[in-house]
Structure 1
Amino acid sequence: MLSPPASDPSNDRVSDEAANWCMRVNEPDFTEQERDQLHRWLSSDPAHQREYDAMLEIWTISEFLPADAPAHIAPAPAPRRTYKRPLMAAAALVLALPLAGLLGWQLNLIPDSYQRFESGSSVRDITLADGSHVQMNLGSQLSFANFKDRRSVTLGKGEAYFEVQHDASHPFLVNAGKGQVRVTGTHFNVWTYEDQVVVTLTQGSVQVMGNRNQPDQLAYLSPGMQARYDARSLVPDVSAASANEVLAWRDGKLILDDIPLSEALPQINRYLDKPIHLGDRATNQLRIGGIYNTRNISGLVQALPKVLPVYLSRNDEGETVISSKPRYVK
């Protein structure tokens, strides 16, 4: 069964307190005074916030907490008072978790394993608990939960290439944006950017759902096909795709095949700390091509005026703007 979040072995008390607050904050008689005390407890030590966030994450996965359970508590202007933590509540939690976990597993509510990964500034290769292999692009985040009736991945940010361990009775689901990819065993790439999601299949077959609330609106992909959807989509748009271009990131490269700047921008922005913007319509259709190092995309941006009739400037947020005419900032 899924274990409580890891904490410093010398400070199990923090885990107990975090578990108690998770219980207390969702009870109907939770007071403003207690909310203020919780805020002070969270802000007194970064370890308190980390443990509370981890506990909430596990409880949210189990679906025993409301979907809108607060992960961060803001201070509330209310009279302060001392609140004694009820020891019986913590004891009840310790006794209830194993039983709840067993019941939750049988009801397909609680996973028996949970993993969370971030790739940071380098491509990362990981193996999930079910034996599936994943390669994560720069700056990506994903989590994996193994339920009795399904394997569930959430790609919260970035891009990943999946080589899924085949299990026809235990489907593999990737949640990205508002949609979902469903497979039993295959190879495919998922890229997220803002509210856009692009799924490219290299082997096997997948079902792509543009909106999880519309499970009957599916797109079926075969190798060499790509599905694209965003927050407004019901049915994903399907087209042919070049696997070499899509998967070039695995070799540290970005391939732009003579495409408009408006299409290139999302691919460029995923490798920048601050996004670049197009300043006018004239720049939208300017075309760009070439093969670039994903670790030096900022160099590509600075070189644009040398290869295209554009000018670079900064907006009030310090972000780069590409325009067809010089922009003068006051």
Structure 2
Amino acid sequence: MTDPALSPAEYDAIADAAAHWCMRLHADDCTPQERLAFEHWLDAHPLHVSEYEAMLEIWDVAGNLPRPEPVAVPMMQAKPRTPWRTIGIAATVCAMVLPLAAYSGWNLGWLPNSYQHFETTDNVRQITLKDGSLVELNLGSELTYSNYKDHRQVTLKKGEAFFSVNHDTHHPFIVKAAEGKIRVTGTQFNVWMYEDRVKVNLIEGSALVSSIDDQPGDGLRLGPSMQASYGHGDFMPQVSQTYANDTSLAWRSGKLVLDDLALNDALPLINRYLETPLMVADNSTGAIRIGGTYNIRELNSLVTSLPKVLPVYLTRNKNGNPVLNSIPQRSPKS
């Protein structure tokens, strides 16, 4: 038997309670009894879980607000949330955190006036952001978009995205990826994040790339046909030229092109499409080269077919990862 639809007032009451629990769980004086009461509240209705998770997400977006300590909550299907509903939750949080924020959060640049969340699994997806910019999301990707008074902000949480950004000199477009960021005013570029590394390919216009979010200065400037990469601990991005035959954007057509790459270089490109990463046993295996064009939706079948086309065999490590091992070459008889 399903529960009857809740009224707007009842939804608001749940949002207020979720904001309250975010505050209390973050407070230094939060007692064990309060934490137990929170668990009971969480179990009382499925909507309590989704509203509390939404509240934590708003804390992520509003970076100037304190973030509560993470509390494990059961994974449940959240009900669809309209944009006005999300902003209402944000306003509730701000009203509880800072007295003036309920009406000045936008003007002070603390809170966005629009917020979007997108995620892909097994399909490339084309989306339109609130500012009219277009984004293509690769398989297994996730991002959020927030429109602040003085800038537009995307957080790429995982995967890869191609951006066609609407030009607005006075309202820059910032993509946060791993520990760095990319700042543009209107251009086309691709951002790929794998583990702790980020690669940026600029197609047209210009972009400023920083490997550290709060790095002094504007970052390194990219021009058309240039790329930058950075990872954890890099003080500055590494910049290089994109070659005319570059195939890194073939994913937009559903393809992965491996152009005679060593397995060590090919595995990051393959693993972004696999649930369980493929590994190599040693450097000699990693030096074996692979080529070809593959459907990005069928990369799992590539793993099992590699021993048929390369001098390798498959094993699994203790974590369950498939591991490629090179077949020893026999010495010719003298």
The structure 2 residue matched to 1:285, chosen from 284, 287, 296, is: 287
User: In structure 2, what residue type is equivalent to 1:302?
Assistant: T
- Give the paired residue count: 302
- TM-score normalised to the size of structure 2? 0.84
User: In structure 2, what residue type is equivalent to 1:246?
Assistant: S
Counterpart for residue 264 of structure 1: 266
State whether structure 2 residue 25 is matched by structure 1 residue 25: yes
- TM-score normalised to the size of structure 1? 0.85
Displacement of 1:244: 5.0
The answer to whether the 8 Å contact 2:92/2:102 transfers is no
The answer to whether the 8 Å contact 2:209/2:221 transfers is yes
| Counterparts in 2 of 1:93 and 1:149: CA distance versus 1, 3 Å | closer
- Paired residue secondary structure (1:249): helix
| Counterparts in 2 of 1:282 and 1:126: CA distance versus 1, 3 Å | same
- Paired residue secondary structure (1:54): helix
The percentage of counterpart residues that share the same residue type is: 50
Counterpart for residue 53 of structure 1: 53
| Counterparts in 2 of 1:296 and 1:14: CA distance versus 1, 3 Å | same
- How do 1:179-194 and structure 2 match up within 5 A? 179-194=180-195
Displacement of 1:42: 2.2
Deviation sequence 1:178-228 (CA, Å, 0-9, x none): 000000000000001110100001111101101113233722211111111
Displacement of 1:250: 0.6
| Counterparts in 2 of 1:60 and 1:158: CA distance versus 1, 3 Å | closer
| Counterparts in 2 of 1:9 and 1:99: CA distance versus 1, 3 Å | farther
CA distance in 1, matches of 2:57, 2:6: 20
Displacement of 1:20: 2.2
CA distance in 1, matches of 2:94, 2:298: 53
Q: In angstroms, what is the RMSD of aligned CA positions?
A: 2.4
Q: 218-227 vs 195-204, which deviates more?
A: 218-227
- How do 1:32-51 and structure 2 match up within 5 A? 32-51=32-51
CA distance in 2, matches of 1:198, 1:296: 24
| Counterparts in 2 of 1:55 and 1:314: CA distance versus 1, 3 Å | same
| Counterparts in 2 of 1:94 and 1:9: CA distance versus 1, 3 Å | farther
The answer to whether the 8 Å contact 2:187/2:204 transfers is yes
- How do 1:1-330 and structure 2 match up within 5 A? 9-10=6-7, 11-12=10-11, 13-63=13-63, 65-67=65-67, 69-73=68-72, 96=95, 100-216=101-217, 218-242=219-243, 244-325=246-327
Displacement of 1:27: 3.5
Deviation sequence 1:62-89 (CA, Å, 0-9, x none): 345324x123258xxxxxxxxxxxxxxx
The answer to whether the 8 Å contact 1:217/1:234 transfers is no
User: In structure 2, what residue type is equivalent to 1:268?
Assistant: I
Counterpart for residue 81 of structure 2: none
Please, which runs of 5 or more residues in structure 2 have no aligned partner? 74-90, 329-334
Deviation sequence 1:6-39 (CA, Å, 0-9, x none): xx74451432321221233234432111012212
